[in-house]
Amino acid sequence: MKTMGLSRLLLVNPKHFPDDQALARAAGAESLLVTAEVCTSVDAALADCVFACAISARQRNLGPPPLPARLAAAEILARADEGEVALLFGNETAGLSNAEVQRCQRTVFIPANPEYTSLNLAAAVQLLCYELRLAAFDGHPPVLSKTVPFASPPASHQDVQRFFEHLERVMVSSGFLDPRRPRRLLPKLRRLFGRAELECDEINILRGLLDAVERQVAGKRRMASGTSDTVDNSGS
Amino acid sequence: MKTMGLSRLLLVNPKHFPDDQALARAAGAESLLVTAEVCTSVDAALADCVFACAISARQRNLGPPPLPARLAAAEILARADEGEVALLFGNETAGLSNAEVQRCQRTVFIPANPEYTSLNLAAAVQLLCYELRLAAFDGHPPVLSKTVPFASPPASHQDVQRFFEHLERVMVSSGFLDPRRPRRLLPKLRRLFGRAELECDEINILRGLLDAVERQVAGKRRMASGTSDTVDNSGS
């Protein structure tokens, strides 16, 4: 409940309450247990509600209309404008009785694998609370860090173009690209780096690498043209 | 996993496997554990994958792009056309390392309450599997009983109209409705029963009740008009 921003918990005839084991397992969400209200009947728990949903995998013969979890979350939120609303869960072993389900306005089910529908109580509660949170924020609840930290800002179009020009120069000078027979090499590399959405730092790293390659290529050329040139360079 | 129709589980260096306690807790989903594959590294587990998502509440500095669970489910399904896809979860205590997250193409987060984002592993797995199932069936996965069993078939328009005529007759004959001053009573009752979407059986019950009331009203009229009539009636 707390992970999804819910805070009001009502317990109907709990076997043990307060319970040390429950508190220990709450792991940071103790506030919910401490403020939980204990009721002596489902009717007492739902007394102030204008809209209650029974969570049940089974449709009951004279039960309220069924609704899958996602649609139910939207309806619950809409009805919350009118007054208190509730999700009613049965206990782990017995679930809800027909009489309890019939006290609600909807039967809410989680669309599970028809061959194995058995979600445990904690899983069902988590899913419903999650759907409520997403519905409450129209699919986009606030997150801890709203903007994703780019390792560095995205590169500008101009920076990317300069990188491609640099890359092409090196491809040609290294003999990898024959300008008379380009074989679509450049468009393919443009596609790759375009998809990657390069950042400034990455452009710097790539151009640094291209610079280093260019120096090597130039050095080799000088070596090939005469040794004195190379000796001068290394000594300077 | 089984509740949401998933079947392939890979375990990286499990502490105990096979494990009797895990089997006991699987409660009907043992097949998943029995067919689980054990891997010696995350790389081995992801070897055949073309797309892998790391589930993590924390964004990592040089991690892959983040995506909320619902959008991730849609993308995972789309990529499943191209080859194997995977959801990578860390263990309950330590989660995933940066190195593990960086082996994936996306960082998937569950949009939880920023003040308390701590979902346990089982809850996170359940939510992701649920989102995958809903995405796989375009929001409408098949359910156990596709059509909800009406207690009886819905009433026809004509049956409903006859009920309203009957109701109006009784309201007038009982003195509750003054036809010269109707005070919008009928439209209000039409609205109520219209919302309820009456079934055949319910129409029969309501009209049976109206019949009974009519007989009472007629009886009282006869009583009021003269005793001999009443005596005759009771004696016949």
Q: pLDDT digits over B110-152, tens only?
A: 999 998 988 999 999 999 999 999 999 987 887 765 455 556 7
Which residue does chain A place closest to B25, by CA atoms?
A120
As a whole number, mean pLDDT of residues A69-97 equals: 93
pLDDT of residue B74: 94
pLDDT of residue A149: 56
User: Is pLDDT at A230 greater than 70 in this prediction?
Assistant: no
Q: At what angle do helices A185-196 and A157-173 cross, to 10 degrees?
A: 140
Residue that the structure tokens 């069924």 belong to? A66
pLDDT of residue B226: 64
**Identity (one letter) of the amino acid at B181?**
R
Residue that the structure tokens 């290394």 belong to? A234
Q: What's domain B2-136's architecture?
A: 3-Layer(aba) Sandwich (3.40)
Alpha helices by DSSP H, listed for B115-156, are 121-136
Q: pLDDT tens, A17-33?
A: 999 999 999 988 999 99
Neighbour-count burial of B200, counting CB atoms closer than 10 A to its CB (0-12 exposed, 13-18 middle, 19+ buried): middle
Q: pLDDT tens, A196-209?
A: 888 888 899 999 98
Q: How many C-beta atoms lie closer than 10 Å to residue B75's C-beta?
A: 17
Q: pLDDT tens, B189-231?
A: 888 888 788 888 889 999 998 998 888 878 877 777 765 444 4
Query: If you count residue pairs, one on A and one on B, with CB atoms under 8 Å apart, how many are there?
Result: 105
Q: What Cα–Cα distance (Å) separates residue A108 from each residue in A69, A70, A100, A118, A121? A: 6, 9, 13, 15, 14
**Identity (one letter) of the amino acid at B21?**
Q
As a whole number, mean pLDDT of residues B90-100 equals: 92
pLDDT of residue A110: 95
pLDDT of residue B230: 41
Determine what percent of chain A is predicted with pLDDT higher than 90.
49
Alpha helices by DSSP H, listed for chain A, are 20-26, 30-34, 42-46, 69-79, 98-101, 121-136, 157-173, 185-196, 200-225, 227-235
Q: How high is the ipTM of this complex?
A: 0.72
Q: How confident is the model at residue B61 (pLDDT cuts 50, 70, 90)?
A: confident
Fold assignment, A157-229: Helicase, Ruva Protein; domain 3 (1.10.8)
Q: Is B118 on the interface with A (CB under 8 A)?
A: yes
Please determine whether the domains at A2-136 and A157-229 fall in the same fold group of CATH: no
- CB pair distance less than 8 Å for B113 and A29: no
The rounded distance, in Å, linking the Cα atoms of B66 and B57 is: 10
* Chosen from A31, A33, A101, A130 to mutate, greatest number of chain B CBs within 10 A: A130
Q: Is A27 on the interface with B (CB under 8 A)?
A: yes
Fold assignment, B157-230: Helicase, Ruva Protein; domain 3 (1.10.8)
Q: How confident is the model at residue A40 (pLDDT cuts 50, 70, 90)?
A: very high
Ranges A173-177, B7-11, B18-22, B145-149: which has the least confidence: B145-149
| Domain boundary assignment for chain B | 2-136, 157-230
User: Is pLDDT at A151 greater than 70 in this prediction?
Assistant: no
The rounded distance, in Å, linking the Cα atoms of B23 and B7 is: 15
Which residues contact residue A174 at a Cβ distance below 8 angstroms, ignoring those fewer than 6 apart? A213, A217
- CB pair distance less than 8 Å for B111 and A127: no
Contact present, A91 and A121 (Cβ < 8 Å)? yes
Of residues B233 and A82, more confidently modeled: A82
